[in-house]
Amino acid sequence: MSISLSSLILLPIWINMAQIQQGGPDEKEKTTALKDLLSRIDLDELMKKDEPPLDFPDTLEGFEYAFNEKGQLRHIKTGEPFVFNYREDLHRWNQKRYEALGEIITKYVYELLEKDCNLKKISIPVDATETEPKSFIYMSEDALTNPQKLMVLIHGSGVVRAGQWARRLIINEDLDSGTQIPFIKRAVDEGYGVIVLNPNENYIEVEKPKIHVQSSSDSSDEPAEKRERKDKVSKETKKRRDFYEKYRNPQREKEMMQLYIRENGSPEEHAIYVWDHFIAQSAAENVFFVAHSYGGLAFVELMIQREADVKNKVTAVALTDSVHNVWHQEAGKTIREWMRENCCNWVSSSEPLDTSVESMLPDCPRVSADVL
Protein backbone atom coordinates (compact mmCIF):
# COMPACT_ATOMS: atom_id res chain seq x y z
CA MET A 1 0.00 0.00 0.00
CA SER A 2 1.40 3.41 -1.00
CA ILE A 3 1.11 6.39 1.33
CA SER A 4 1.07 9.89 -0.15
CA LEU A 5 3.11 12.77 1.21
CA SER A 6 -0.04 14.61 2.24
CA SER A 7 -1.24 11.55 4.16
CA LEU A 8 2.02 11.39 6.08
CA ILE A 9 1.76 15.07 6.92
CA LEU A 10 -1.85 14.72 8.11
CA LEU A 11 -1.32 11.45 10.00
CA PRO A 12 -0.39 13.10 13.34
CA ILE A 13 -3.52 15.24 13.10
CA TRP A 14 -5.79 12.24 12.52
CA ILE A 15 -4.21 10.42 15.47
CA ASN A 16 -4.65 13.50 17.66
CA MET A 17 -8.32 13.73 16.64
CA ALA A 18 -8.94 10.09 17.51
CA GLN A 19 -7.45 10.61 20.98
CA ILE A 20 -9.40 13.82 21.54
CA GLN A 21 -12.74 12.24 20.55
CA GLN A 22 -12.42 9.90 23.53
CA GLY A 23 -12.46 12.85 25.97
CA GLY A 24 -15.14 15.08 27.49
CA PRO A 25 -16.85 18.33 26.38
CA ASP A 26 -13.62 20.36 26.34
CA GLU A 27 -12.04 17.78 24.11
CA LYS A 28 -15.03 17.91 21.73
CA GLU A 29 -14.41 21.64 21.33
CA LYS A 30 -10.84 20.86 20.30
CA THR A 31 -12.16 18.23 17.85
CA THR A 32 -14.39 20.85 16.22
CA ALA A 33 -11.45 23.23 15.94
CA LEU A 34 -9.27 20.56 14.34
CA LYS A 35 -11.99 19.62 11.86
CA ASP A 36 -12.24 23.27 10.92
CA LEU A 37 -8.47 23.37 10.44
CA LEU A 38 -8.52 20.30 8.19
CA SER A 39 -11.33 21.73 6.07
CA ARG A 40 -9.16 24.77 5.30
CA ILE A 41 -5.98 22.90 4.40
CA ASP A 42 -5.38 22.80 0.66
CA LEU A 43 -3.67 19.52 -0.22
CA ASP A 44 -2.10 21.11 -3.29
CA GLU A 45 -0.55 23.70 -1.04
CA LEU A 46 0.77 20.94 1.20
CA MET A 47 2.80 19.62 -1.68
CA LYS A 48 4.84 22.82 -1.61
CA LYS A 49 6.55 21.40 1.45
CA ASP A 50 8.83 19.34 -0.81
CA GLU A 51 9.82 22.29 -3.02
CA PRO A 52 13.44 23.40 -3.15
CA PRO A 53 13.93 26.81 -1.51
CA LEU A 54 12.67 29.78 -3.53
CA ASP A 55 16.11 31.31 -3.25
CA PHE A 56 17.37 32.36 -6.66
CA PRO A 57 20.47 34.25 -7.84
CA ASP A 58 20.24 38.01 -8.31
CA THR A 59 22.58 38.22 -11.32
CA LEU A 60 22.73 36.64 -14.77
CA GLU A 61 26.08 35.15 -13.84
CA GLY A 62 24.46 33.53 -10.81
CA PHE A 63 21.97 31.85 -13.13
CA GLU A 64 24.93 30.87 -15.34
CA TYR A 65 23.46 32.74 -18.31
CA ALA A 66 24.73 35.61 -20.45
CA PHE A 67 23.76 37.43 -23.65
CA ASN A 68 26.09 36.58 -26.53
CA GLU A 69 27.25 38.92 -29.33
CA LYS A 70 23.93 38.32 -31.16
CA GLY A 71 21.93 39.37 -28.11
CA GLN A 72 20.79 35.81 -27.43
CA LEU A 73 20.51 34.47 -23.88
CA ARG A 74 22.69 31.38 -23.57
CA HIS A 75 23.99 29.15 -20.79
CA ILE A 76 27.59 30.07 -20.00
CA LYS A 77 28.84 26.46 -19.90
CA THR A 78 26.64 24.60 -22.40
CA GLY A 79 25.70 27.39 -24.82
CA GLU A 80 22.10 26.16 -24.70
CA PRO A 81 19.04 28.47 -24.68
CA PHE A 82 17.11 29.04 -21.45
CA VAL A 83 15.28 25.97 -20.12
CA PHE A 84 12.03 26.65 -18.28
CA ASN A 85 11.48 23.12 -16.92
CA TYR A 86 14.71 23.10 -14.97
CA ARG A 87 13.16 20.72 -12.42
CA GLU A 88 10.53 18.26 -13.58
CA ASP A 89 7.11 18.20 -11.85
CA LEU A 90 7.84 21.47 -10.06
CA HIS A 91 5.94 23.94 -12.22
CA ARG A 92 5.49 26.50 -9.45
CA TRP A 93 9.20 26.46 -8.59
CA ASN A 94 10.15 26.70 -12.27
CA GLN A 95 7.78 29.65 -12.70
CA LYS A 96 9.29 31.43 -9.70
CA ARG A 97 12.75 30.83 -11.16
CA TYR A 98 11.61 32.26 -14.51
CA GLU A 99 10.18 35.33 -12.78
CA ALA A 100 13.41 35.86 -10.84
CA LEU A 101 15.40 35.73 -14.07
CA GLY A 102 12.90 38.13 -15.64
CA GLU A 103 13.52 40.71 -12.91
CA ILE A 104 17.26 40.51 -13.57
CA ILE A 105 16.67 41.00 -17.30
CA THR A 106 14.52 44.07 -16.58
CA LYS A 107 17.44 45.64 -14.73
CA TYR A 108 19.80 44.58 -17.53
CA VAL A 109 17.63 46.36 -20.12
CA TYR A 110 17.56 49.48 -17.93
CA GLU A 111 21.38 49.44 -17.98
CA LEU A 112 21.36 49.16 -21.79
CA LEU A 113 18.99 52.11 -22.06
CA GLU A 114 21.41 54.23 -20.06
CA LYS A 115 24.76 52.94 -21.33
CA ASP A 116 24.08 51.92 -24.95
CA CYS A 117 21.26 54.33 -25.80
CA ASN A 118 22.43 57.26 -23.64
CA LEU A 119 18.98 57.82 -22.14
CA LYS A 120 18.40 59.50 -18.79
CA LYS A 121 16.25 58.02 -16.03
CA ILE A 122 13.67 60.61 -14.91
CA SER A 123 11.77 60.10 -11.66
CA ILE A 124 8.02 60.69 -11.47
CA PRO A 125 5.90 62.24 -10.06
CA VAL A 126 8.10 65.25 -10.73
CA ASP A 127 7.20 66.75 -7.35
CA ALA A 128 7.39 63.50 -5.35
CA THR A 129 8.45 63.65 -1.73
CA GLU A 130 11.33 61.49 -0.50
CA THR A 131 9.01 59.01 1.19
CA GLU A 132 6.23 58.50 -1.36
CA PRO A 133 6.22 55.74 -4.03
CA LYS A 134 7.90 56.73 -7.29
CA SER A 135 8.19 55.48 -10.86
CA PHE A 136 10.36 56.66 -13.75
CA ILE A 137 10.64 57.07 -17.50
CA TYR A 138 13.64 57.36 -19.83
CA MET A 139 14.44 60.31 -22.08
CA SER A 140 17.17 61.31 -24.49
CA GLU A 141 19.20 64.42 -23.68
CA ASP A 142 17.32 66.44 -26.31
CA ALA A 143 13.83 65.00 -25.70
CA LEU A 144 12.37 68.31 -24.56
CA THR A 145 14.59 70.65 -26.61
CA ASN A 146 14.69 69.00 -30.05
CA PRO A 147 12.76 71.52 -32.19
CA GLN A 148 11.87 69.13 -34.98
CA LYS A 149 10.77 65.65 -33.92
CA LEU A 150 10.17 63.48 -30.88
CA MET A 151 9.56 59.71 -30.74
CA VAL A 152 7.46 58.30 -27.87
CA LEU A 153 7.44 54.53 -27.16
CA ILE A 154 4.73 52.73 -25.14
CA HIS A 155 4.87 48.99 -24.43
CA GLY A 156 1.95 46.67 -23.64
CA SER A 157 0.59 45.20 -20.42
CA GLY A 158 2.01 42.54 -18.10
CA VAL A 159 5.50 42.14 -16.65
CA VAL A 160 7.33 44.22 -19.26
CA ARG A 161 8.88 47.51 -18.20
CA ALA A 162 10.49 50.51 -19.90
CA GLY A 163 12.56 49.46 -22.91
CA GLN A 164 10.85 46.08 -23.41
CA TRP A 165 8.27 44.78 -25.86
CA ALA A 166 8.10 41.17 -24.63
CA ARG A 167 10.05 39.37 -21.90
CA ARG A 168 9.39 36.01 -23.55
CA LEU A 169 11.09 37.18 -26.75
CA ILE A 170 14.08 38.55 -24.85
CA ILE A 171 14.60 35.22 -23.10
CA ASN A 172 13.74 32.85 -25.96
CA GLU A 173 14.78 34.89 -29.03
CA ASP A 174 17.08 37.90 -28.58
CA LEU A 175 17.34 41.48 -27.37
CA ASP A 176 16.51 42.95 -30.78
CA SER A 177 13.22 41.01 -30.93
CA GLY A 178 12.09 41.69 -27.37
CA THR A 179 13.32 45.20 -26.56
CA GLN A 180 12.78 48.72 -27.89
CA ILE A 181 16.51 49.27 -28.28
CA PRO A 182 16.59 48.95 -32.12
CA PHE A 183 13.77 51.52 -32.34
CA ILE A 184 15.56 53.89 -29.97
CA LYS A 185 18.92 53.66 -31.74
CA ARG A 186 17.40 54.23 -35.17
CA ALA A 187 15.34 57.17 -33.88
CA VAL A 188 18.44 58.79 -32.38
CA ASP A 189 20.44 58.18 -35.57
CA GLU A 190 17.69 59.90 -37.57
CA GLY A 191 17.63 62.95 -35.33
CA TYR A 192 14.66 62.27 -33.07
CA GLY A 193 14.41 63.06 -29.42
CA VAL A 194 13.15 59.98 -27.52
CA ILE A 195 10.84 59.38 -24.55
CA VAL A 196 10.31 55.82 -23.28
CA LEU A 197 7.21 55.38 -21.13
CA ASN A 198 6.96 52.90 -18.25
CA PRO A 199 3.19 52.31 -17.94
CA ASN A 200 3.31 49.08 -15.90
CA GLU A 201 5.37 50.56 -13.07
CA ASN A 202 2.20 51.64 -11.24
CA TYR A 203 3.02 50.71 -7.64
CA ILE A 204 5.69 49.54 -5.26
CA GLU A 205 5.34 46.42 -3.13
CA VAL A 206 6.04 46.43 0.59
CA GLU A 207 5.64 43.71 3.16
CA LYS A 208 2.29 43.69 4.92
CA PRO A 209 2.61 44.83 8.53
CA LYS A 210 1.95 42.12 11.06
CA ILE A 211 -1.32 42.60 12.92
CA HIS A 212 -0.87 42.51 16.68
CA VAL A 213 -4.05 41.57 18.50
CA GLN A 214 -4.28 43.16 21.92
CA SER A 215 -4.95 40.70 24.70
CA SER A 216 -8.45 40.96 26.14
CA SER A 217 -6.95 41.07 29.63
CA ASP A 218 -5.14 44.36 28.94
CA SER A 219 -8.18 46.59 29.21
CA SER A 220 -10.97 44.44 30.52
CA ASP A 221 -12.85 44.75 33.81
CA GLU A 222 -13.98 41.13 33.58
CA PRO A 223 -13.30 38.73 36.46
CA ALA A 224 -9.81 37.23 36.43
CA GLU A 225 -11.10 33.70 35.85
CA LYS A 226 -13.05 34.77 32.75
CA ARG A 227 -10.08 36.72 31.39
CA GLU A 228 -7.78 33.73 31.83
CA ARG A 229 -10.25 31.52 29.98
CA LYS A 230 -10.45 34.01 27.10
CA ASP A 231 -6.68 34.32 26.95
CA LYS A 232 -6.35 30.56 26.81
CA VAL A 233 -8.79 30.35 23.89
CA SER A 234 -6.91 33.19 22.13
CA LYS A 235 -3.59 31.38 22.53
CA GLU A 236 -5.07 28.14 21.22
CA THR A 237 -6.52 29.98 18.21
CA LYS A 238 -3.13 31.55 17.44
CA LYS A 239 -1.46 28.16 17.81
CA ARG A 240 -3.88 26.58 15.32
CA ARG A 241 -3.44 29.51 12.91
CA ASP A 242 0.35 29.25 13.05
CA PHE A 243 0.11 25.49 12.54
CA TYR A 244 -2.04 25.95 9.41
CA GLU A 245 0.20 28.74 8.09
CA LYS A 246 3.21 26.46 8.38
CA TYR A 247 1.70 24.19 5.73
CA ARG A 248 -0.10 26.83 3.65
CA ASN A 249 3.06 28.84 3.23
CA PRO A 250 5.93 26.43 3.95
CA GLN A 251 8.64 28.67 2.52
CA ARG A 252 7.49 31.68 4.50
CA GLU A 253 7.01 33.83 1.43
CA LYS A 254 6.38 37.40 2.52
CA GLU A 255 2.85 38.72 2.18
CA MET A 256 3.01 41.93 0.19
CA MET A 257 0.78 44.94 -0.28
CA GLN A 258 0.74 47.47 -3.13
CA LEU A 259 1.26 51.20 -2.71
CA TYR A 260 0.15 52.98 -5.88
CA ILE A 261 2.14 55.81 -7.44
CA ARG A 262 0.38 59.15 -7.41
CA GLU A 263 -1.20 60.05 -10.76
CA ASN A 264 0.44 56.98 -12.31
CA GLY A 265 -1.71 54.19 -10.88
CA SER A 266 -2.59 52.73 -14.30
CA PRO A 267 -1.13 52.73 -17.84
CA GLU A 268 -3.78 55.25 -18.90
CA GLU A 269 -2.99 57.59 -16.00
CA HIS A 270 0.72 57.23 -16.74
CA ALA A 271 0.33 58.17 -20.42
CA ILE A 272 -1.68 61.28 -19.51
CA TYR A 273 0.81 62.26 -16.79
CA VAL A 274 3.82 61.95 -19.10
CA TRP A 275 1.97 63.90 -21.77
CA ASP A 276 1.11 66.76 -19.40
CA HIS A 277 4.53 67.03 -17.74
CA PHE A 278 6.89 66.17 -20.60
CA ILE A 279 5.54 65.62 -24.12
CA ALA A 280 3.25 68.68 -24.12
CA GLN A 281 6.18 70.77 -22.83
CA SER A 282 8.59 69.57 -25.53
CA ALA A 283 9.77 71.91 -28.28
CA ALA A 284 9.25 69.34 -31.04
CA GLU A 285 7.04 70.44 -33.88
CA ASN A 286 6.23 66.82 -34.75
CA VAL A 287 5.61 64.06 -32.20
CA PHE A 288 5.43 60.40 -33.28
CA PHE A 289 4.11 57.51 -31.16
CA VAL A 290 4.91 53.79 -31.37
CA ALA A 291 2.48 51.88 -29.14
CA HIS A 292 2.20 48.10 -28.70
CA SER A 293 -0.86 46.14 -27.54
CA TYR A 294 -2.31 47.83 -24.41
CA GLY A 295 -0.10 50.82 -25.18
CA GLY A 296 -2.47 51.51 -28.08
CA LEU A 297 -5.42 51.56 -25.71
CA ALA A 298 -3.52 53.98 -23.44
CA PHE A 299 -2.86 56.26 -26.43
CA VAL A 300 -6.56 56.30 -27.41
CA GLU A 301 -7.45 57.18 -23.82
CA LEU A 302 -4.89 59.99 -23.99
CA MET A 303 -6.62 61.27 -27.14
CA ILE A 304 -10.01 61.17 -25.44
CA GLN A 305 -8.70 63.16 -22.48
CA ARG A 306 -6.46 65.59 -24.41
CA GLU A 307 -7.96 65.57 -27.92
CA ALA A 308 -7.15 69.12 -29.03
CA ASP A 309 -3.58 69.03 -27.68
CA VAL A 310 -2.82 65.64 -29.22
CA LYS A 311 -4.17 66.67 -32.62
CA ASN A 312 -2.10 69.83 -32.50
CA LYS A 313 1.18 68.10 -31.63
CA VAL A 314 1.10 64.48 -32.85
CA THR A 315 1.91 63.81 -36.50
CA ALA A 316 1.56 60.03 -36.75
CA VAL A 317 1.00 56.93 -34.61
CA ALA A 318 2.30 53.42 -35.35
CA LEU A 319 0.31 50.80 -33.45
CA THR A 320 1.33 47.14 -33.23
CA ASP A 321 -1.35 44.59 -32.33
CA SER A 322 -3.17 47.35 -30.48
CA VAL A 323 -6.05 46.23 -28.25
CA HIS A 324 -7.81 49.60 -28.25
CA ASN A 325 -11.54 49.67 -28.97
CA VAL A 326 -13.07 53.00 -30.00
CA TRP A 327 -16.57 51.80 -29.08
CA HIS A 328 -15.75 50.55 -25.57
CA GLN A 329 -13.56 53.57 -24.92
CA GLU A 330 -16.26 55.86 -26.30
CA ALA A 331 -13.97 57.70 -28.69
CA GLY A 332 -15.95 60.40 -30.48
CA LYS A 333 -16.42 60.84 -34.23
CA THR A 334 -13.70 63.51 -34.51
CA ILE A 335 -11.17 61.18 -32.83
CA ARG A 336 -12.06 58.29 -35.12
CA GLU A 337 -11.68 60.52 -38.16
CA TRP A 338 -8.27 61.73 -36.97
CA MET A 339 -7.13 58.16 -36.34
CA ARG A 340 -8.12 57.12 -39.88
CA GLU A 341 -5.80 59.79 -41.24
CA ASN A 342 -2.90 59.63 -38.79
CA CYS A 343 -2.73 56.10 -37.31
CA CYS A 344 -1.95 52.64 -38.64
CA ASN A 345 -2.22 49.35 -36.77
CA TRP A 346 0.21 46.57 -37.83
CA VAL A 347 -1.38 43.28 -36.75
CA SER A 348 -0.32 39.64 -36.61
CA SER A 349 -1.07 38.07 -39.98
CA SER A 350 0.33 35.57 -42.47
CA GLU A 351 -0.32 38.03 -45.30
CA PRO A 352 2.65 39.88 -46.84
CA LEU A 353 3.87 42.97 -45.00
CA ASP A 354 1.55 46.00 -45.26
CA THR A 355 -1.30 44.05 -46.86
CA SER A 356 -4.61 45.53 -45.79
CA VAL A 357 -6.41 43.49 -43.12
CA GLU A 358 -10.17 43.83 -42.69
CA SER A 359 -11.38 45.44 -39.47
CA MET A 360 -14.83 45.86 -37.94
CA LEU A 361 -13.73 49.00 -36.08
CA PRO A 362 -14.23 52.35 -37.80
CA ASP A 363 -10.90 53.88 -36.82
CA CYS A 364 -7.39 53.44 -38.21
CA PRO A 365 -6.32 51.14 -41.06
CA ARG A 366 -5.08 47.66 -40.13
CA VAL A 367 -2.27 46.07 -42.13
CA SER A 368 -0.26 42.88 -41.88
CA ALA A 369 2.93 42.81 -39.85
CA ASP A 370 3.90 39.63 -41.74
CA VAL A 371 4.25 37.69 -38.46
CA LEU A 372 2.01 35.31 -36.53
What pLDDT does residue 3 have? Answer: 40
Is 331 inside a domain boundary? yes
- For residues 276-281, give the mean pLDDT: 98
Mean pLDDT of all residues belonging to the chain: 85
Is 98 inside a domain boundary? no
Known active-site residue 293: yes
Is 348 inside a domain boundary? yes
What pLDDT does residue 87 have? Answer: 84
Active-site position among 135, 282, 293, 368: 293
Is 218 inside a domain boundary? no
Is 252 inside a domain boundary? no
CATH code, domain with 317? 3.40.50
Q: Which domain holds residue 155?
A: 118-204+261-368
> Global pTM?
0.78
Q: How many domains does the chain have?
A: 1
Is 74 inside a domain boundary? no
pLDDT band at 364 (very low <50, low <70, confident <90, very high): very high
Q: What is the 3-state secondary structure (H, E, C) of the chain?
A: CCCCHHHHHHHHHHHHHHHHCCCCHHHHHHHHHHHHHHHHCCHHHHHHHHCCCCCCCCCHHHHCEEECCCCCEEECCCCCCCCCCCCCCCHHHHHHHHHHHHHHHHHHHHHHHHHCCCCEEEEECCCCCCCCCCEEEEECCCCCCCCCEEEEEECCCCCCCCCECCHHHHHHCCHHHHECHHHHHHHHHCCCEEEECCCCCCEEEEECCCCCCCCCCCCCCCCHHHHHHHHHHHHHHHHHHHHHHHHHCCCCCCCEEEEECCCCCCHHHHHHHHHHHCHHHCCCCEEEEEEECHHHHHHHHHHHHCHHHHHHHEEEEEEECCCCCCCCCCCCHHHHHHHHHHEEEEECCCCCCCCECCCCCCCCCEEECCCC
For residue range 156-210, what is the model confidence (pLDDT) as tens digits? 999 999 999 999 999 999 999 999 999 999 999 999 999 999 999 999 988 888 7
Is 235 inside a domain boundary? no
Q: Has residue 84 got a pLDDT over 70?
A: yes
pLDDT band at 88 (very low <50, low <70, confident <90, very high): confident
Is 102 inside a domain boundary? no
pLDDT band at 41 (very low <50, low <70, confident <90, very high): low
